[in-house]
Structure 1
Amino acid sequence: MRNIISIVLILVSFTIFGVRIAKKIQFKQNVSGYLKRAADANTIELAHEELTKVIDYLEANNITSGYTSMIWETPDEDISFWYRNLKASQAELQNLKSNSALERTNVLIKLRETLVDTGKSTKVTVPRGLAVYPNNGFWGILILIALLSLFFSFVLFAIESEKKSKKKKEQQLSSS
């Protein structure tokens, strides 16, 4: 019976982790992937096209304001600032009328600096936890449940394994 409970707990955990991973992939397909492409674009038109895809998705899914944090609000989790920054970049790309290669290149460089954080590694600037927004608290609880389920399933497996080991030793002693 304990083995069945353990297997169910493991399946619940893997399901939660799987759905969370799928959410992250979906977010990359609709937001962070296009932001990276906009940052890498060589032309104003291409950058504008990629950035517009992101903004359209954010607006369609009402991801334009709020915080991704569960306990306290920090500036790096401010969706409103991040979204307004994307809109300002989009407007700058759209309103650029200059044919000067230098001006166009400067706008693309500025866009790249806005969209990408560079440090030890280069990554797209996105508020942490945005992939599961507005259900960050719910997902935090689900991940905790998944981790606890995994822990308890391994504990149950260990108890069951020890019981079998004791029975086997008892049988060996009684047959000797």
Structure 2
Amino acid sequence: MKSNIVTSFSAGLLFAATVCGIVYFTSKGENIEAQSKNPQTENNVVEKTPTVEEMKSILGDSGFVVQTQEEVDKKDAATTEEWKKKVAEAEEAAKKASSDNNGQVEYRTMITVTDGMTSIDVGRALKSGKIIKESAFDFSQKVDKKGVANYLKPGTYEMDSSMSTDKIISTIFKKR
């Protein structure tokens, strides 16, 4: 190929690209203006912004709950008042229970016994839950004296500090 042919071809490509760029950039602005003046979609359907009531209706039909900020604030205030009443009632009940128990506090906890646990492990869990007053070792010794150390039954048990140690042992360590 001769250099004149290649140069002419390159100049033609450059000219065509320049013309395409000018057309693209000048018509792009007109297209945006035309769209903003004519609020029609591709299917020639006029778009309309729904009113607040129409939007609530549309969202309600779709399963959403629509509330104004005032409604939310009222609901929050009512919930806060309700919780304050419940807390006050619980405090009164605790004071009454405390006076009924001669000022002694009762603790409740859930103990989960798994395979591989020993009586000392159970004693530690009971001690950390403030269910027993003696040490985990002393609890283990009581279990050994009863002869039920090998009958530790896995499961979840609800214990409270008013239960006697014998009752706790008979609940968790069951002979089959």
Which TM bucket (shorter chain)? under 0.3
Structure with the largest fraction of strand: 2
TM-score by length of 1: 0.27
Q: Which has the larger radius of gyration?
A: 2
Q: Relative contact order, CA 8 A, sep 6+: which one is greater?
A: 1
TM-score by length of 2: 0.27
Structure with the largest fraction of helix: 1
